[in-house]
């Protein structure tokens, strides 16, 4: 079976945009993709491990993708985070699926 | 001066299990942690979340794991310096180390084990331009002594458990408590949310939502906060107060340990994983999530293994040249420093007639 990868554009905290390829068959989320490509230093992203409990993986969604609806815990965490904008999401809550092809995001500043 | 055999920096699961393994070798431990309670991330970030990869526990809540580890090491009487951050380390002529905390508490030990996880937890400060100039002048990010709020007017900001719990607690202490949150919904234990609702109805907590503190007003001390509220129409107003307490959680920072002369890679301390998890400074070890080596996995169970091997190396440093034979706890039992003894019950030998 042909393995399906998606292309994603991620702008890191220094403003550098990376065009990366992410697998859809690894049950990965966006935070984990950022970590696996080391686009943010260890210890500054994914601190809680992906429980929507720390907001260290906050990102701004720049493209018009239809993303999975926000769950209560993500919404609550974002309501306590800093630098939050209307297009803020937690990377750990966005699963990499074929629908994410062409996704463009920017990492929010560290806080 | 607090003296011990192994000084452990970080009272998370790895640090707590070190106490047990050291105790089997008759080594005494003392732990320093920046948080006011033991457990590290397990207590601070996700106490109510389950963990599924602790051997022999198909499922255990992070908070319960902390309780179990404390119970397991209890008879080895660990000492604790909690709510203080390890700041400096000085090597002494006799080879021991003196570690001093941010509050000046000194600890001396021949072996230092850094089990610091992702670092010490520091409060997350809201993005208010002039907030730094009001620190310790009415702005506190952590409540250390609730008595200072007696008969004062207090504004708390935040939407999590600590904001809710402290609002409830201070409503009995302070003259006036105002709780400000960006949303109408709070995330916390149901009973805390209900209690705040009840206190709000009684007029004991002044709830301002959805709103945000934009600025602080005062001459050399907090006199009021500027609040922007966006219910129906956007409006900005001042709330007079003596204290402003933003409670937006904590985030870990490697902090002063980064300046101890240890070899650091990717925010973690490099260790010798082929042997004993020692750092580039002999006598200083790094175990658990804080260390790195080829193939490192940041898992609690890996921290337990690293702690166990580290204790053997510590034993050799503290008892040079002494012969040691590994004993199974089932065979040897456990002799606590508190005089207790645990041992396997003797087999019953009785004839069947």
pLDDT tens digits for range B20-32: 999 999 999 999 9
- Check residue A2 and give its pLDDT: 54
Segments forming the whole domain that contains residue B281: 2-122+251-342
Domain count within chain B:
2
The H-or-E segment that residue B245 falls in is strand B243-246
Pick the last residue of a domain from B213, B233, B248. Answer: B248
Domain boundary among B248, B283, B301: B248
Could you tell me the CA-to-CA distances from A47 to B62, B175, B284 in Å, in that order? 15, 38, 25
Q: How far apart are CA A21 and CA A8, in angstroms?
A: 6
Contact B82, B93 (CB under 8 A): no
Give CB contacts under 8 A, 24+ apart, made by B99-103.
B99/B7, B99/B9, B99/B32, B101/B32
Are A9 and A18 contacting, i.e. CB atoms less than 8 angstroms apart? Answer: yes
pLDDT band at residue A3 using 50, 70 and 90 as cut-offs? low
Binding-site positions of B for FAD: 14, 33, 41, 46, 86, 121, 289, 330
Taking CA–CA distances from A56, the nearest residue in chain B reads B251
Q: Is residue B118 domain-shared with residue B266, that is, in the same domain? A: yes
Contact B82, B35 (CB under 8 A): yes
In a domain, B293, yes or no: yes
The answer to whether the CB atoms of A53 and B45 lie below 8 A apart is yes
Task: Report the predicted TM-score, pTM, of the whole model to 2 decimal places.
Answer: 0.84
Is residue B285 a part of any domain in this protein? Answer: yes
**At B219, phi and psi to the nearest 5?**
-105, 105
Q: Which residues of B touch A76 (CB under 8 A)?
A: 159-160, 183, 185-187
* In a shared domain, residues B86 and B230: no
Do residue B86 and residue B161 come from a single domain? no
A69-103 pLDDT tens trace: 999 889 989 988 999 999 999 999 999 999 999 99
**From the annotation, which residues of B make up the binding site?**
14, 33, 41, 46, 86, 121, 289, 330
Residues B308 and B289 in one domain: yes
Within-domain flag for B352 = no
* CB distance B321 to B299 below 8 Å: no
User: Among B41-50, B56-65, B81-90, B282-291, whose mean pLDDT is lowest?
Assistant: B41-50
The predicted model gives B120-124 an average pLDDT of 88
Over residues B233-252, the pLDDT tens digits come to 788 999 999 999 999 988 88
| pLDDT exceeds 90 at position B293 | yes
Final residue of a structural domain among B230, B248, B266:
B248
* B67 and B29 part of one domain: yes
Q: Are residues B305 and B330 in the same domain?
A: yes
Q: Which of B119, B186, B251 sits opposite A54 (nearest CB)?
A: B251
Position B23 scores a pLDDT of 97
- The CATH number that applies at residue B183 is 3.50.50.60
Residue B352 contacts by C-beta under 8 Å, 6 or more apart in sequence? none
- What domains does chain A contain, in order, with CATH numbers? 5-107 (3.10.20.30)
Which token pair is B302? Answer: 């890996």
Both tokens assigned to B91 = 């090597």
pLDDT tens-digit profile of B183-239?
888 887 889 999 999 999 999 999 999 999 999 999 999 999 999 997 777 889 999
Asked if B257 and B334 sit in the same domain, the reply is: yes
Closest CA to A107 of A51, A50, A33: A33
If asked whether residues B113 and B222 sit together in one domain, one would say no
Omega before residue B121 within 30° of 0, cis: no
pLDDT exceeds cutoff 60 at B50: yes
Same domain, B148 and B259: no
In this prediction, residue B270 carries a pLDDT of 97
Residue B349 lies in a domain: no
In terms of domains, do B240 and B261 share one?
no
Contact residues on chain A for B160, CB-CB shorter than 8 A: 76, 80
Estimate to the nearest angstrom the gap between the alpha carbon of B241 and the chain centroid. 30
Pick the closest to residue A31 from A104, A93, A73, A78 (CA basis).
Answer: A93
B87 plus B108 within the same structural domain: yes
| B283 occurs within a structural domain | yes
Q: Is residue B76 part of a domain?
A: yes
Interface confidence (ipTM) of the complex = 0.78
Segment (H or E) for A18: strand A17-23
Signed CA dihedral, B107, B112, B117, B119: sign only: positive
The percentage of residues in chain A with a pLDDT greater than 70, rounded to a whole number, is 97
pLDDT tier for residue B39 given thresholds of 50, 70 and 90: very high
Taking alpha carbons only, the member of B109, B114, B111, B66 closest to residue B86 is: B114
Distance from CA of B188 to the nearest CA of A (A): 10
What separation in angstroms does the CA of B297 have from each of B93, B277, B291? 36, 14, 10
pLDDT tens digits, one per residue of B266-276: 889 999 999 99
Kindly state whether residue B353 falls inside one of the protein's structural domains.
no
Do both B305 and B333 map to the same domain?
yes
Is B347 domain-assigned? no
B29: three-class secondary structure by DSSP = strand
């Amino acid at each position: 079976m042909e393995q399906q990868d998606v292309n994603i554009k991620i702008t890191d905290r220094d403003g550098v945009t990376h065009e990366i390829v992410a697998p859809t068959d690894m049950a990965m989320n966006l935070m984990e993709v950022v970590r696996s490509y080391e686009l943010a230093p260890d210890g500054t992203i994914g601190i809680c491990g992906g429980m929507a409990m720390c907001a260290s993986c906050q990102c701004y969604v720049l493209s018009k993708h239809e993303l999975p609806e926000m769950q209560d815990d993500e919404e609550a965490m974002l309501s306590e985070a800093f630098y939050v904008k209307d297009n803020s999401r937690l990377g750990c809550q966005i699963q990499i699926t074929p629908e994410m092809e062409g996704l463009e995001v920017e990492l929010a500043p560290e806080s | 001066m607090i003296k011990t055999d192994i000084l452990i920096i970080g009272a998370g699961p790895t640090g707590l299990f070190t106490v047990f393994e050291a105790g089997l070798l008759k080594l005494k431990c003392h732990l320093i942690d920046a948080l006011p309670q033991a457990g590290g991330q397990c207590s601070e970030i996700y106490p109510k979340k389950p963990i599924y990869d602790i051997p022999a526990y198909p499922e255990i809540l992070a908070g319960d794991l902390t309780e179990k580890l404390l119970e397991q090491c209890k008879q080895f009487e660990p000492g604790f310096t909690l709510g203080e951050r390890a700041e400096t380390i000085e090597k002494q002529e006799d080879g021991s180390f003196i570690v001093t905390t941010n509050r000046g508490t000194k600890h001396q030990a021949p072996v230092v084990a850094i089990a610091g996880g992702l670092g010490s937890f520091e409060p997350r400060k809201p993005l208010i331009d002039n907030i730094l100039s009001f620190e310790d002048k009415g702005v506190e990010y952590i409540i250390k002594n609730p008595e200072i709020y007696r008969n004062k007017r207090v504004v708390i900001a935040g939407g999590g458990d600590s904001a809710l719990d402290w609002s409830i607690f201070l409503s009995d202490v302070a003259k006036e408590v105002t709780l400000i949150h960006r949303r109408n919904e709070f995330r916390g234990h149901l009973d805390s949310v209900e209690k705040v609702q009840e206190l709000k109805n009684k007029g004991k907590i002044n709830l301002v939502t959805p709103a945000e503190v934009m600025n602080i007003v005062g001459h050399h001390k907090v006199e009021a906060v500027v609040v922007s509220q966006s219910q129906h129409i956007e409006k900005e107003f001042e709330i007079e107060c003596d204290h402003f307490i933003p409670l937006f959680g904590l985030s870990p920072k490697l902090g002063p340990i980064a300046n101890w002369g240890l070899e650091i890679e990717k925010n973690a301390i490099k260790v010798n994983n082929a042997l004993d998890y020692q750092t580039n400074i002999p006598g200083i070890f790094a175990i658990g999530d804080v260390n790195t080596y080829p193939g490192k996995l940041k898992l609690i169970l890996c921290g337990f293994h690293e702690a166990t091997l580290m204790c053997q190396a510590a034993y050799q440093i503290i008892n040079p040249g002494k012969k040691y034979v590994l004993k199974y706890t089932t065979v040897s039992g456990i002799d606590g420093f508190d005089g207790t003894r645990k041992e396997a019950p003797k087999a019953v030998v009785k004839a069947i007639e």
